[in-house]
Amino acid sequence: MSVNQGQDHTFKVATGNGRDTGNQAAVNSGGLQASRIGFRGKEDLGGGLNAEFGLENGFSVDNGAALQGGALFGRRSIVGLSGTQFGTLHLGRRKDFTDEIAGAYSSITPYSGFITAVHANNMDRIGGNRANNMIYYSTPTWGGFRANVSYGFGEAAGSIATGQSLGYGANYDLGPFGIGFGYWQSKLGTTANPTSDQGAGSGAGCSTTLASNAGKAGQTCIKTWILGSHYDFGKVNLRGTYSQVRQPLLVSGSGAAPNFNTAFSATTGTAAFTAGGSNNSKAQILDVGADIELTSALTLTTSFIQSRYDFIGSVNKGKLTMYIAGLQYYLSKRTTLYTTAGTQGASGMYNPGVGTGAPGADNRTSFVAAGIRHTF
């Protein structure tokens, strides 16, 4: 049995342009990588086939609080089979294939929670959402190619579609070049997001209480897909993703857009004109960047991320733009020092803020963070 733990302490200072935004100095958890502790085990069954399990808990190092809604093993809880000729079959709660595309090609690996808000409030699953009651199957890798299908049971009596989730994808990664895609959809349940923990607490388009949601149980409430690619030149790795989110059950607008020069903050995921909000029918996110090896122990990362939003009942479109860069210094294979700085601006919509910080009375949020990550 193996034991795996990651800890990440971050000191962060957020700043604005002085328009009553307020600065924040804080010790946070999960700046470079979300903190977790878990157990994984594997047994050789012979013939290249293994039985395996995984249990993983997410928590905040700064205060010890449990994440993923307080679930004991909210990050992962699976049992399954795996083998070089068989592929991988998992049953339980885990991430789907969109996370594997995001981890390989987007900016989520170097920046973690600093970029989830600009990614439509994580509605495109960039931060690794999970699904309950999942059957996950990934094929073996053939010449760099691998495919996946995932299915989440809604487990509602009398209806297969209610609360159901479905995902699939494929990836080719061989030598310096890689390209892949992932797709995921959730159907409305009798409670908000009964199968998938995608998006804000309200679930926006998957909420059963949202006034602008005209759907019925069993109808598709969220569709998202991601396409990613990279090319590794050796010292420089160029990467990028394009993702799209649709919330087809949102039908009601919220009146004319306010003056965002005077109206500043609103709750992302529930309020109108927010990322993944109650009248945000469509979001498109472009995420491109480069990882540059300065020395064997020091890596520079840079990214440009822009997301655009369609709002029901408004001819105006929203836009979030982020510039972010960071340095990672590897003291050892297990311990990393890092620093990250970035700025995120909003146009035609509310600014969702960055990381764990709430948006202030401004349409721009800037931050500087430094931290340490230790894994074992």
What per-residue string of b and e applies to 84-123 under the rule 16 or more CB within 10 Å gives b? Answer: eeebbbbebbbbbbbbbbbebbbbbebbbbbbbbbbbbbb
Q: Enter the pTM of the model.
A: 0.91
All residues at 6 or more sequence positions from 191 whose CB lies less than 8 Å from its CB, including other chains:
163, 208
Is the model's pLDDT at 102 over the cut of 70? yes
All residues at 6 or more sequence positions from 355 whose CB lies less than 8 Å from its CB, including other chains:
12, 28, 31, 113, 114, 117, 367, 369
Whole-number pLDDT of residue 356: 62
Whole-number pLDDT of residue 181: 98
Tokens 């595309």, residue located: 101
Q: In the chain, what is the straight-line distance between the N-terminal and C-terminal CA atoms, in Å? A: 14
Whole-number pLDDT of residue 4: 33
Greatest pairwise CA separation for the chain in angstroms: 67
CA distance 209 to 221: 13
- For 8-53, the pLDDT digits (tens) are 433 344 444 445 556 777 777 877 888 899 999 999 999 999 999 9
Measured CA to CA in angstroms, residue 56 lies from 36, 85, 112 at distances of: 7, 26, 18
Give residue 281's pLDDT band: very low, low, confident or very high (50, 70, 90): very high
Q: Which domains does the chain have, with CATH numbers?
A: 2-375 (2.40.160.10)
Angle of CA points 86, 90, 95, to nearest 5°:
120
Contact 340, 372 (CB under 8 A): no
CA distance 351 to 216: 31
Which residue from 228, 220, 13 is spatially nearest to 100, judged by alpha carbons? 228
- For 287-337, the pLDDT digits (tens) are 999 999 999 999 999 999 999 999 998 988 999 999 999 999 999 999 999
Whole-number pLDDT of residue 195: 66
Contact 372, 61 (CB under 8 A): no
Whole-number pLDDT of residue 115: 94
Regarding predicted confidence, which is higher, 239 or 121? 239
Tell me the average pLDDT across 212-222: 84
Tokens at 121, concatenated: 């409030």
Give residue 222's pLDDT band: very low, low, confident or very high (50, 70, 90): very high
Regarding predicted confidence, which is higher, 325 or 71? 325
Percent of all residues in the chain with a pLDDT value above 90, rounded to a whole number? 61
What is the amino acid identity at position 72? L
The mean pLDDT value of the chain amounts to: 88
How many beta carbons lie within 10 A of that of residue 69, not counting itself? 9
Is the model's pLDDT at 120 over the cut of 80? yes
Helix %, strand %, coil % for the chain, to 5?
5, 50, 40
- For CA atoms 22, 28, 32, 36, the dihedral sign is negative
CA distance 319 to 219: 28
Give residue 344's pLDDT band: very low, low, confident or very high (50, 70, 90): very high
Which residue from 93, 92, 128, 347 is spatially nearest to 226, judged by alpha carbons? 128
Is the model's pLDDT at 61 over the cut of 90? no
DSSP 199-222: SSTT-GGG-SS-TTB---TTSEEE
- For CA atoms 310, 312, 316, 322, the dihedral sign is negative
| CA atoms within a 13 Å half-sphere pointing along the CA-CB vector of 113 | 19
Contact 232, 239 (CB under 8 A): no
Contact 230, 240 (CB under 8 A): yes
List the single range of 179-188, 189-198, 250-259, 307-316 with lowest mean pLDDT.
189-198
CA distance 323 to 289: 10
